[in-house]
Structure 1
């Protein structure tokens, strides 16, 4: 199941960028080559599934928006690896680091192992033993 769409790619990177990245010898130079973009999205989604498979039951019941962003960044990088700008390569490397951490269990994508929205149960609690310095405890120093 793809985690992103061509529309999501257009919103993130712009139509001109996708036209440039998807042009092939047999396609018009002024329109998005839809099959090329769809294949990049599918490849990126499969790559994400490879990282998630060890921790989550796939396909996910609820797909977090985060996966769309990650999928778009991977697909964008894969479309232009020969001449990818530095910021695109940096984003790709950051995605891979994140997915590696998710696979190790260090980070979460916001869903439980069955793909349902995660319910956070271990919230931080602060307890105090009371005030250390108070007028009634100072015994004449204040």
Structure 2
């Protein structure tokens, strides 16, 4: 499931940009190759899922604005054959945001209804098995004097 649509790409970057990024084949009745853009959006969503799956069940439902933006930025980066720096930078920011969400340093933002946490975290947690601490307060007290 793609987090963004071709229409999201048009609204964010204009149809002229899509014509430049994904030109339609000669003789086509449309001005851009929608299937190419959809494939890039699917790939971008899969990449975002690879980061977000650490914290959330994926795919994430809802149409969250930050998730749509990240998917559009990653798809645009994938389609840009010129390697323009601002587009590459936007892709890097989208990846970093996804990593930050997975590491609990950022959130997915507000849901469509304005709720602060639109997606519930995965139930359960991490269990850590480790030996007892060797350096507790008593053992270190001699070194602190």
TM-score w.r.t. the length of structure 2 is: 0.69
Matched, 1:114 2:113: no
CA contact (8 A) 1:55 1:113 kept: no
* CA 27–42 in structure 1, closer or farther in 2 if over 3 Å, else same: farther
CA contact (8 A) 1:19 1:30 kept: no
Instruction: Give the drift of 1:112.
Output: 5.8
TM-score w.r.t. the length of structure 1 is: 0.71
**Structure 1: gaps (5+ residues):** 116-142
* CA 24–7 in structure 1, closer or farther in 2 if over 3 Å, else same: closer
CA contact (8 A) 1:4 1:72 kept: yes
Matched, 1:103 2:109: no
Q: Structure 2 CA distance, aligned partners of 1:10 and 1:113?
A: 27
Matched, 1:86 2:80: no
Partner of 1:3: 3
CA contact (8 A) 1:9 1:72 kept: yes
Instruction: State the aligned residue count.
Output: 114
Partner of 2:70: 70
CA contact (8 A) 1:61 1:114 kept: no
> In angstroms, what is the RMSD of aligned CA positions?
2.2
State the 4+ residue runs in structure 1 displaced beyond 6 angstroms. Answer: none
CA contact (8 A) 2:24 2:31 kept: no
